[in-house]
Amino acid sequence: LVLVADVRLDNRDELIRRLGARQGPDGHAPTDADLLLLAYQAWGERCVEHLLGDFVFAVWDEAARELFLARDPLGGYSVSYARIGNRFVFASETAAILDLPGFNPTIKELTVTRVLAGLTPTAEDTFFESVFYLPPAHCLTLRTQEIRQWRYWALAPRASIEYRDDDQYVDHFLELLDQGTNVGILHATEEVKEVLELRCELQLLPGEVHVAHTGDADQVHMGMRHFEAEHRHPHPVTGKG
């Protein structure tokens, strides 16, 4: 198997536990790519149902002569593909496909017309004929020149959760918020970690505080100083850091 991926997994601990992946091939903690490949080996095409995070990845199975391509449910990362003669190509950016030697792209006039008319193109449309996006929450397989594409996840807006009282709704919301905060902290830079942890300690304050997620330590620490100053003199405020 050959894997290429742009991936950030948010449920690493769960995958490590379920896959028994205590260490990667190099003896260190498994990378997201290690976990992705193990998930594909364990669950095949249905591995995407067990992944949380942003990802685009492709697995080439040499024995089966099959390519598997997948994109995360919310489309955090993008991927384009095209069939050019007897070749199938894909890339994280359409420009990489357009630059291929021997490929002469043609403008897709229908897409241009829709955009100029203020209409939204479909999730697959690019501005070029024969070049397509793989939509969010979709997988694609290529085998013996046959392409199969399907949706593996869809939002269920009418689904409802029924609890006995308001307190149970609050408890469930706080549980999900805590999970999301923990995931965010794991992937934040060290400077932004400090801001997020400070916010967790102070819990709820009047108004809103917006902190720029940036690698610029000066900006982050400036946001922290503003945050602390407003906490000492609380009143509705929007701080920008």
Q: Per this entry, what is the length of the chain? A: 241
Q: What's the per-residue H, E or C state across the chain?
A: CEEEEEEEECCHHHHHHHHCCCCCCCCCCCCHHHHHHHHHHHHHHHHHHHCCEEEEEEEEECCCCEEEEEECCCCCCCCEEEEECCEEEEECCHHHHHCCCCCCCCECHHHHHHHHCCCCCCCCECCECCEEECCCCEEEEEECCEEEEEECCCCCCCCCCCCCCHHHHHHHHHHHHHHHHHHHHHHCCHHHHHHHHHHHHHCCCCCEEECCCCCCHHHHHHHHHHHHHHHHCCCCCEEEC
- 80 near 58, Cβ under 8 Å? no
pTM of the model: 0.69
User: pLDDT tens, position by position, for the chain (241 residues)?
Assistant: 999 999 999 888 899 999 987 766 666 788 999 999 999 999 999 999 999 999 999 999 999 999 999 999 999 899 999 988 888 999 999 999 999 888 888 999 999 999 999 998 889 999 999 999 999 999 999 998 789 999 999 887 777 788 888 888 888 888 877 776 666 555 554 345 555 555 554 444 444 433 333 344 444 344 434 444 444 444 443 344 4
